[in-house]
């Protein structure tokens, strides 16, 4: 998403959000939409079965290099989302992004600044960013 489209999306959210304008409403809707994303992924696994989770201890050796670790570490997901599950998850992610944008609006934060700052942090810290 370009900076311009993020800005336009944030402006659009500001225009559309009427019912949940209080901080507490937006915080609870952000949490609820995040839970809905998780639930949609869980349903893709448990109800549809288009993806499966095969989780186990990660085989990582301390003396292996970072590039080798990228190859060795597993994401535990097998299969691909079917079109229906993908559509549902994309919709839930969109709703989550909507409320995140609403929170940014309420706190006078530009969503594009958040994305840019996180991108710079990822570039600087690389693999150590989220460890």
| pTM (2 d.p.) | 0.81
What residue has token string 């304008």?
Answer: 21
- CATH annotation of 3-15+23-126: 1.10.287
Q: What angle do CA 19, 35, 58 make, to 5 degrees?
A: 155
- In the chain, the N- to C-terminal Cα span, in Å, equals 25
Q: What are phi and psi of 26, to 5 degrees?
A: -65, -40
pLDDT number for residue 27:
95
By the 8 A CB rule, do 79 and 50 touch? yes
Each residue's pLDDT expressed in tens, for the chain with a length of 131 residues: 566 698 999 989 988 876 667 899 999 999 999 999 999 999 999 999 999 999 887 777 766 666 676 666 778 899 999 999 999 999 999 999 999 999 999 999 999 999 999 989 888 876 565 55
> How far is CA 105 from its chain centroid?
19
pLDDT number for residue 1:
59
pLDDT number for residue 73:
74
């Amino acid at each position: 998403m370009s900076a311009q489209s993020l800005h336009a999306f944030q402006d659009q959210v500001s225009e559309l959000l009427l019912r949940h304008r209080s901080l507490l409403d937006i915080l609870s809707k952000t949490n609820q939409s995040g839970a809905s994303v998780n639930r949609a992924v869980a349903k893709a696994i448990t109800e549809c079965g288009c993806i499966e989770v095969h989780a186990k201890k990660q085989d990582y050796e301390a003396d292996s290099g970072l590039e080798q670790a990228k190859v060795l570490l597993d994401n535990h997901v097998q299969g691909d989302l079917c079109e229906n599950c993908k559509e549902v998850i994309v919709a839930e992610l969109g709703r989550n992004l909507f409320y995140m944008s609403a929170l940014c609006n309420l706190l006078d934060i530009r969503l594009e600044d958040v994305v840019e700052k996180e991108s710079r942090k990822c570039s600087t810290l690389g693999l150590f960013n989220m460890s």
